[in-house]
Amino acid sequence: MVVNTSGEVLLGNPVFTRLPPGEVLLGNPVFTRLPPGEVLLAVNDVDIPQQLVERLQEEKRVEAQKRKERQEAHLYMQVQIVTEDQFCGHQGNDMYDEEKVKYTVFKVLKSSTLQEFVQNLSQTMGFPQDQMRLWPMQARTKAKH
């Protein structure tokens, strides 16, 4: 039985009965009385499944890592690297297709020097420093006409 706010009673299966907008399906709560000692039982470490413990520890570790990164974010900058492979074969107005390029992103300390960055980049990318040429680039903004 479904009771709407206007006092009418709708018969039929309440699961399949469509209620008019603003109408509420009413239900009856069930109460049981338990002795006070049986309401909440003590939880021991052996009661918690090991996979749940591991998942909670992993979530705490990830949250701590994110918190640390947020606190130290002002010390770092992101450098996006476009390699020669991204330029090859591009036919268009710009040097590369900004939407299709896959940047290699480096997290660099703002206090580090350019020489330290080039050395780190050389080790990471596997190219000798004397064969690398860095060009500062900035994406151009497309003006609306």
DSSP string, 28-65: --------HHHHS----GGGS-HHHHHHHHHHHHHHHH
Q: How far apart are CA 25 and CA 13, in angstroms?
A: 12
Q: How many domains does the chain have?
A: 1
Backbone angles phi and psi of 133, in degrees to 5: -130, 120
* Alpha-carbon span 3 to 9, nearest angstrom: 5
Q: Is residue 142 part of a domain?
A: no
Global confidence as pTM: 0.52
**Which residues, 6 or more positions from 120, have their beta carbon under 8 angstroms from its beta carbon?**
106, 108
- Tens place of pLDDT for every residue, the chain, 145 residues? 444 555 455 555 555 566 677 666 666 776 777 777 666 777 888 888 999 999 999 999 999 999 999 999 999 999 988 888 777 777 777 777 777 778 888 899 999 999 999 999 999 989 899 888 888 887 777 766 5
In a domain, 87, yes or no: yes
- Confidence (pLDDT) at 145: 54
Q: Is residue 23 part of a domain?
A: no
Domain range spanning residue 99?
74-131
| 106 falls within a domain | yes
